[in-house]
Amino acid sequence: MSSEADRSLILASSSPYRRTLLERLRVPFSVVVPAIDETPRPDESPASTAMRLAVEKARAVAERHPRALIIGSDQVATLDGQQIGKPGDHRSALAQLQTMRGRVVEFHSALCVFDAARGDAQIKDILTRVRFRNLPDAALDAYLHAEQPYDCAGSAKAEGLGIALLESIESHDPTALIGLPLIELVSMLNHAGYPVLRA
């Protein structure tokens, strides 16, 4: 196994949310944006899409950083088995929230820790079930104007005002919904010989 001193830790992501989450662990890391096609494949399950993309992001960065320990992550939101993407604008976000109100949305937050030096990948999908409140259009519209979560799958930032849209969250890792499952990540880093807490 490579020693910790021989390798750097890299977050393979363009997401500012994942970067902020990783900063909580107080470990040194850099960010490299992976250049991959994130289009779901035909007949691919939401969990499979999330896990495949998490791995592809990590491996894409590994090509340029062959000794690094690389974190890849991806999230797919689903309703009735159909994937819900990032809305991109106000109108699409409002339509998403209207469809989801009073209902349960599943978020698949896939995580990959790839040891480029060893070619070893740890992969896991963390499932979070979120029940949205049955709110009127005016409340949904007011939320969107206040927070403008147009780069978030599901159009709601649970770490911000979006928590007011939610009735319940079920997950064994509360950070998974925000985009990077830190409980699982700590386990993976420990397994890879890169402990977050050191004596």
**Gap between the Cα atoms of 87 and 102, Å rounded:** 19
For residue 168, the cross-strand partners are 131
42 beta partners: none
Using the 8-state DSSP alphabet, how is residue 133 labeled? P
- The pTM of the full predicted model, rounded to 2 decimals, is 0.88
- The CATH T-level fold of domain 4-191 is Maf protein (3.90.950)
Catalytically active residues, by annotation: 74
The ranges assigned to domains in the chain are 4-191
Q: pLDDT tens digits, the chain, 199 residues: what are they?
A: 444 445 799 999 998 989 999 999 999 999 999 988 888 888 888 899 999 999 999 999 999 999 999 999 999 999 988 888 889 999 999 999 999 999 999 999 999 999 999 999 999 999 999 999 999 999 999 999 999 999 888 898 888 999 999 999 999 999 999 989 999 999 999 999 999 998 6
Rounded CA-CA distance 20/160 in Å is 13
